Structure 1
Amino acid sequence: MDEYTFTTEPPAPADFIRLREKANMAPRSLAAVEKGLPNTIFAVTVYHDGRAIGMGRIVGDDGAVYLISDMAVEPDHQGNGVGTRIMERLMAYLDMNAVGSAYITLIADVDGFYERFGFEPVRPESKGMYKRIT
């Protein structure tokens, strides 16, 4: 893992868009990314040879509600523990800063990854929903 550099800053907007694309995630417009990234509560961006290859961030109100969002690692770097180390850093932030009764959520498309960090399906108590602005 020595070849990777981990920072606690969001990626540049172009890197954010590229990483989401490489991870087959829904696209975000440059305008949305430029408006949204400065509102990040905490972020981790991973670099390899000076290039952003992974990211994850926490958004929310930094008190009652947190959302782990935009977890992405370029396919060539998956399986090397990069995603795990991103999540460890995000969870460390939450462990140090989230107060009792805070709700931490995420939308996952990877089975078996987030469970090791204590996340559970919301069903049957709740159901996840979304609406996309087009």
Structure 2
Amino acid sequence: MSKYMKYMLIGMVLISFSNHGVQTPDERSLSTALTAAAAMVNKSAPQMLDEETRLDSAATFRNFIIYNNTMVNYSAEQLDITLFDPLIQESVIAPLCSNEKLSGFIELGVVMVYRYLGKNGAFITELSKDMATCNEAK
């Protein structure tokens, strides 16, 4: 590849990043709120949620908040995903819209992501809820 081509590619990459890095005031406010929420979770993590589930950490990206959980008594291979996903859907995801403490997440259209790993650190599953859809159900 010629020097000219390399410089052109670098320039194009830099220009593309400059256009995508700007947040609107609302996006910045949401990022700040989600970062604070994740920091609160991380301050008390790891934390046992029940006898099977440990909340390890939280992270944010755009309008997503991601909760990283470990199933402390099971490896990924020990769990049948066809049984596990519906259980998490029913016990974790389904009640989110009716949780009054999450009304701000509903208004702001936050996507809540619940990621599960086995006790061996292997990925089990990830389920999410776009909280903006809570208003559609009403």
Fold shared, TM-score > 0.5 on shorter chain: no
Q: Which has the higher helix share?
A: 2
- What is the TM-score with the length of structure 1 in the denominator? 0.31
The higher radius of gyration belongs to 2
